[in-house]
Structure 1
Amino acid sequence: MRPASSPPRLPTLILLTALAILTLNMFLPALAHMAEALETDYATASLSIGGYLAVTAVVQLFAGPLSDRIGRRPVVLGALAIFIAASAGCAMAGSIEVFLAFRVLQAVVISCFAMSMAIVRDTTAEQKAAGLISYITMAMAVAPMLGPVLGGALDTLLGWRANFWFYAAAGVAMLLLAWADLGETRQHKGPGQRKGGYLELLAEPRFWGFALCTMSSTGAFYTFIAGAPLVATETFGITSATLGMIIGSITAGFMFGSFLSGRLTRRFEVTTMMLLGRIVACIGLSVGLAAVLGGHVELWSYFASTIMLGLGNGLTMPSAHAGILSVRPDLAGTAAGFNGALTVAGGAVLTTFTAVVLVRTDPPAMLLAIMLALSVAGLAATLWVRRLRRVAPPAPTAT
């Protein structure tokens, strides 16, 4: 066991993030079997996805400030303990009502993602934090791709409940790892966070610059996820297998961008990396939209432009997260939690908006136009925060 004050190793933070993300969609292939076993309809069973996302937004609003008050370690350990119990409850549930109640409790695991971000900023300077966050965000891309594959195999071999027993076992393993490796890293000990923490953070224009960049950049990705199936089937008439490859391609672009970010942030300031990512995304989407408006609607050229969004987001997001956490290092947990809640809420609104708008317009052009508009908004936010930082440089990391 490491000393109580020592920071955790990077693999521990990556695994904490992966577990938090994996919990969202691993069991999706088993959803129909779950609905049948619990004697409910598919729509009701699907509340385990939409309802879960809504609760994660609320959880982050409370977990972040709580970690600034009592520390990162107790929040992580407490969240994992609740997650283990909730996962076992889901696995043993005999009705949809009991299942959904435990599923809501599972949402506390999202705290581990917010805490991973805050811990990195607690222990490293802003520019180095961006590099480490790059590798953590790669787990955000890999986990959703591999999760459904594992979940489908567990459902086929052992039944849908095996997914939730897997969650419980993974939670136990992570609890033991966190207990041994995760020391307390909160910088400002003593009386804890002031009651006005949220108000003080939200009064910072720099926080809003970083947060708006993050929300709009991630929102463009959510828009793609909502609109790509419609465009792919109605415009290009492709199979589900090909659609899966296309959706995976934007994630692959994000992973490559995150990898590059981990290398480049050693040399470039965070807003420079954000600017580079926004320019890449805007150029790629602009070329794609111009081609569509010019009558050149080709499958691979169309989705090549969306891969550029993934690449741009991979370059932008780690530095944007590091910037958010650096506005007020003493409120890093609060910043991580509130930004996470904003991102989830914005994603929910944008996916709904996209689904409504695309069916009433020209889907290929409109999808790229919405994504481009959001990327431009992220570019504008980046330019704004660069200007603000010339006046007020980031605070140093306390040690």
Structure 2
Amino acid sequence: MEKRPGLFLSLTIGILTAFGPFLTDFYMPALPEMVEALKTDEAAVQMSLTACMVGLALGQLIIGPLSDKYGRKSLLIGSLALFLVASVFCVVASNITMFNIARVFQGLGGAGGIVLSKSISTDLFTGNALTKFLAVLSMINAVTSLAAPLVGGALLLVMHWQSIFIVCAGIGLMLIVMCAFVPESLPKDKRSDVSVVKSFGGLFKVFESRTFFYSTLVLMTMYFLFFCIVSSSTFILQTTYGMSSTLYAVVFGAGLLVIGFGAALCPRFQSQVRALRTGVLLIAVSAIATVVSLLVLRNVYCIIASYVLVFFSFGMMQTLATTLGLDAGRKRAGSSSATLGACSFIAGAIAPPLISLGGNLESGSCIGIGVSTALALVFVMKLTRLPSVRAGF
């Protein structure tokens, strides 16, 4: 029987799901300033994004399976405490090495919010109801993503880049207080009774489901595509086209808000197959538009418009693939959530260094966008042929 969480629980879960984009988007306007402040180069500062993504991936793989055995709440509060401490170390970092190490631990702490928010959602909902709830969370996520670069850009007008991470620490403290009032969603009688070591075996058992397997691959291609744009857009728009950090924050934040609109469209489809095919078609169109805008038209307005279309399509595909994966791995909600999240962030983590290899961010990001789109088309084709997916909704 599905429960109906109240406004407070929905808001808390929504903020927790936003840890991923919050950790990446909030400080994006500050990247050019950090290059000078930490006396380093663009590639080293971009590695801070990868460092955080690695932490987000590893943290989910650890916390997810453990939550199936020990419950969600205690692990959630503990991970938030780690996030708070790591944020403080980001503030006091005196060089890029120390900063990147702190970012790994910040990701580890933030991972708890991401993986457990999805696990809690799976504890409460199934099927199309889960899709609808995830769409609501995506909208909250999108609003948070919109606010993050705006606040980050505004802070840079009056303060130094460290102020962004002071705010991160404050948000961590606020969430610890909020989560103290969140009820446990996994009763003791429904928890895993296997040993701690065997609990981690759930990370591999979830792949026995072909639906989960292909959903994970689709999600990975989407995150790789998304971070090809996220990691390069700040330098392309600010350095190449002369956009200010404040204007970039407004444009990028508005684009992220569109992710929520894409997610909100998903429950309106009568079948999962039709939704998936529509979403991947939009991905293909937006990818072509982005490549043409960057390499042929070289017009800042066309580039921004193509980014917005990518974000809308990403919102659809991310919600659909996540719903299919969580439903398929419902018996091990913590492990399935951890695997989906970790694989997504691993894909996102390798995007920044790969597109920087050639030294040209525009051409590098276009290659990444093209490859990930082609793979997404193949994986969606495989996914839509599965009986469990064709019977969905």
Structure 2 counterpart of 1:325, one-letter code: L
Distance 1:204 1:387 in 2: 14
Residue 78 of structure 2 is aligned to residue 73 of structure 1: no
- 3-state DSSP class of the match of 2:184? coil
AA aligned opposite 2:80:
L
Match of 2:380 in 1: 382
Shift in CA distance, 182/224, structure 1 to aligned 2, threshold 3 Å:
same
Matching residue of 1:60: 60
1:271–1:319 CA contact under 8 A, matched in 2: no
Partner of 1:84: 84
Question: Percent identity between the aligned chains?
Answer: 20
Mapped partners of 1:67, 1:49: distance in 2: 26
Cα offset for 1:340? Answer: 1.8
Partner of 1:278: 280
Relative to 1, partners in 2 of residues 1:337 and 1:286: Cα closer, same or farther, differing over 3 Å? same
1:306-385, aligned counterparts within 5 Å? 306-356=307-357, 359=360, 370-385=368-383
The number of residue pairs the alignment matches comes to 380
Aligned residue number for residue 26 of structure 1: 26
Aligned mates of 2:94, 2:365 — CA distance in 1: 42
Query: 1:127 touches 1:270 (CA, 8 Å); kept in 2?
Result: no
| Separation in 2, partners of 1:9, 1:78 | 18
- Closer, same or farther: CA 269–358 of 1 in aligned 2, 3 Å: farther
Distance 2:194 2:272 in 1: 29
- Single out whichever of 237-246 and 7-16 deviates more from structure 2: 237-246
SS in 2 for 1:129: helix
Q: CA RMSD in A?
A: 4.0
Alignment CA distance shift 1:111-1:380 (3 Å): same
Counterpart of 1:269 in structure 2 is 271
SS in 2 for 1:14: helix
Note closer, same or farther for the CA distance 1:288–1:88 as it changes in structure 2 (3 Å cut).
closer
Q: Report the secondary structure of 2:169's partner residue.
A: helix
Give structure 2 stretches of 5+ with no counterpart.
none
TM-score (norm 1): 0.78
Aligned to 1:66, the other structure's residue is in SS state: helix
Contact 1:21 1:110 in 2 (8 A): no
In the alignment, the residues of structure 2 paired with residue 53 and residue 251 of structure 1 have an alpha-carbon distance, to the nearest angstrom, of 18
**1:125 equivalent in structure 2:** 126
Structure 2 counterpart of 1:239, one-letter code? G
Q: Which has the larger radius of gyration?
A: 1
Does the CA contact (< 8 Å) of 1:145 and 1:248 recur in 2? yes
Give the letter aligned to residue 12 of structure 1.
T
1:10 aligns with 2:10: yes
Closer, same or farther in 2 for the Cα pair 1:358/1:286, shift >3 Å?
farther
Q: Give the structure 1 partner of residue 167 of structure 2.
A: 166
Of 198, 222, 225, 1:220 maps to: 225
TM-score (norm 2): 0.79
SS at match of 2:18: helix
**AA aligned opposite 1:80:** L
- The answer to which of 371-380 and 385-394 deviates more is 385-394
Q: State the SS of the aligned residue for 1:180.
A: coil
Per-residue CA deviations over 1:201-234 (Å, capped at 9, x if unaligned) read 1232221210111111222222233455676689
For residue 292 of structure 1, report the CA deviation from its aligned partner. 9.1
Deviation readout 1:319-350 (Å, 9 max, x if unpaired):
21111111121212212222222222222333
* 210-219 or 369-378, larger mean C-alpha shift: 369-378
Amino acid aligned to 1:274: L
